[in-house]
Amino acid sequence: MVEIFILGQRYEVPEGLTILKAFEWSGFHLTRGVGCRGGFCGACGTVYRLQNDHILYYALACQTVIKPGMILGQIPFFPAQHPAYRIEDLKPTGETLLQMYPELLRCYGCNTCAKACPQEIDVLNYMAAAVRGDIAAVAEISFDCISCGLCVARCPSENVPPNVSLLARRLYGKYLAPRAEHLRHRIQEIEGGTYRPEIAVLKSAPVNELRNQYAERQIEE
């Protein structure tokens, strides 16, 4: 058993549990701060300290194994500005990013955002790209962001990096990314009925056969 502290209360939990499972072992019924359990949704943002260590650490609770003496607190949601917009009404320019998020210009360049990221994304780098108006760079660097909000909680200039990057990725995807011609061609085939016989076979196949086909499928590079 391992001693940990959740919201200031001492608990003993089995060694090897993730933080999320340790919460639940300790009797917490989580309706917030839990989601996909696979490290994709960002719902289980967690901060913690270790005994005799001054550093504040950041993690996703579903992906991080507990350590003895952990002092844990969750941040399942952190308030952040999120202007409403219709992507069709926006232009893919740096001016758009600054119009939606004028606080970008208050960035101190302190790198606290990158230090807080459990995905180890170079948040400061994509924020700098946003200030320069380089939408493509913001979209590329922030691609793995899951919007857990830990960088928002730590930013001393009150910026909202996940929302900035989300807008940049949307602008890039709609206006700047190269069109996928093979995808357009495949959609035309589907709409034209090319695959209707194969779909009919799949719909009548036993579940075990479908599972086997799924496991043996070829994944496009």
In a domain, 221, yes or no: no
Both 24 and 57 in one domain: the answer is: yes
Q: Tell the residue number behind the tokens 């093979």, with chain if given.
A: 182
Question: What pLDDT score does 220 carry?
Answer: 72
**Cβ neighbours for 118, distance < 8 A, ≥ 6 positions apart:** 45, 58, 59, 60, 63, 64, 148, 150
For residues 157 and 144, state if they share a domain. Answer: yes
Phi first, then psi, for residue 25 (nearest 5°) are: -60, -35
Q: Are residues 93 and 169 in the same domain?
A: yes
79 found inside a domain = no
Same-domain status, 59 and 108 = no
pLDDT of 61 > 90? The answer is yes
Q: What is the pLDDT of residues 111-123, one digit of tens each?
A: 999 999 988 999 9
Name residue 102's beta-bridge partners.
none
* Averaged pLDDT for residues 40-58: 90
Residue 24's domain comprises 2-74
Q: How far is CA 96 from CA 12, 13, 159, in A?
A: 51, 49, 16
Please list the alpha-helical segments (H only) found in 14-144.
Answer: 19-25, 94-100, 112-116, 123-132, 135-141
Whether residues 100 and 154 fall in one domain: yes
Q: Residue 124 above 80 pLDDT?
A: yes
Pair 94, 58 in one domain: no
| Alpha carbons 124 and 104: distance in angstroms, whole number | 11
Q: Residue length, the chain?
A: 221
pLDDT, position 180: 87
3-state secondary structure of 59: strand
Q: Do 191 and 111 fall within a single domain?
A: no
60 within a domain of the structure (yes/no): yes
- What CATH code is carried by the domain that includes residue 95? 1.10.1060.10
220 within domain boundaries:
no
> Helix, strand or coil for residue 14?
coil
Helical H segments across the chain, by residue range: 19-25, 94-100, 112-116, 123-132, 135-141, 150-154, 161-171, 181-191, 196-204, 207-215
User: Do both 57 and 100 map to the same domain?
Assistant: no
Mean pLDDT of 69-80: 87
Structural domains of the chain, count:
3
The reply to whether 50 and 7 lie within a common domain is yes
- Find all residues with CB under 8 Å of 111, minimum gap 6, and list them: 124
What CA–CA distances, in Å, run from 28 to 23, 47, 48, 59, 78?
A: 6, 17, 17, 18, 20
159-172 pLDDT, tens per residue? 999 999 999 999 99
- Whether the Cβ atoms of residue 58 and residue 155 lie closer than 8 Å to each other: no
pTM score of the predicted model? 0.76
Task: Answer whether residue 48 is part of any domain.
Answer: yes
Say if residue 59 is in the same domain as residue 106.
no
pLDDT at 79: 82
Computed on alpha carbons and rounded to an integer, the radius of gyration of the chain in Å comes to 22
Which CATH number covers residue 67? 3.10.20.30
Q: How far apart are CA 55 and CA 86, in angstroms?
A: 41
